[in-house]
Structure 1
């Protein structure tokens, strides 16, 4: 059984707007899913963000798990080196809307906000 980190020690933070949107998208899937957040090599700034729903049965013992009132955000430890302190926000603005990543570890970001460099 994987233990979730208490709310005051979350390494990945969600704004209320982001949490509402993630829960809305999850509910459209029609099943209980967690959100996996990570990074991969690539993107115009060197690394790009990954974010996708995943079945909770795929949570590994070495994953970091953060609980938001029963909804879990999961991140592998390697990605957490680049994402610790990340704030995920959401805007429904017609221009520039969608999920926004504010990463305190990034020393450069691209114009689209979906990739970064460290």
Structure 2
């Protein structure tokens, strides 16, 4: 597992996650940032959300974390639930994809995409 980059940030990204996100961003063909958040739902009560977004949609109260030429955005309400979370990526055939390690989660579902706090 790679080390999280710049641990003073509210959302931590491993080098593997950043590399994969940069590849996905290039495929989109335009300058985008990544919005990470939570919403109600999922097997454990809350589920993670993650999507590319145009930088012009960043709101004044959003937290913005710079990772070189890549930005991660999070709204303040979501950040209450995921502050200190580490986002990793695995290309394993079984169980691969983005993985969330959330220190605020009391319980996490088996798939790792939802949690309760």
Question: Could you state the TM-score of these two structures normalised by the residue count of structure 2?
Answer: 0.94
Unpaired runs of at least 5, structure 1: 1-6
Equivalent residue, structure 2, for 1:26: 25
Structure 2 CA distance for aligned equivalents of residues 34 and 61 of structure 1: 15
Structure 1 segments of 4+ aligned residues over 3 angstroms from their partners = none
Residue in structure 2 matched with residue 104 of structure 1 by the alignment = 103
Gaps spanning 5+ residues in structure 2: where? 1-5
**In structure 2, C-alpha distance between the alignment counterparts of 1:70 and 1:82, rounded to whole Å:** 26
Aligned length: 112
For residues 67-106 of structure 1, the aligned pairs below 5 Å read 67-106=66-105
Give yes or no for the alignment of 1:15 onto 2:14.
yes
Distance 2:34 2:64 in 1: 10
Take 1:9 and 1:103, find their aligned partners in 2: how far apart are those partners? 15
C-alpha distance in 2 between matches for 1:49 and 1:8: 20
The CA deviation at 1:8 is 5.4
Q: Shift in Å at residue 9 of structure 1?
A: 2.8
Q: Note the aligned Cα RMSD (angstroms).
A: 0.8
SS in 2 for 1:28: helix
* 2:38 corresponding residue in structure 1: 39
Tell me how far apart the structure 1 counterparts of residues 111 and 48 of structure 2 sit (CA, whole Å): 12
1:54-110 alpha-carbon deviations (Å, 9 max, x no partner): 000000000000000021100000000001000000000000000000000001000
Per the normalisation by structure 1, the TM-score is 0.93
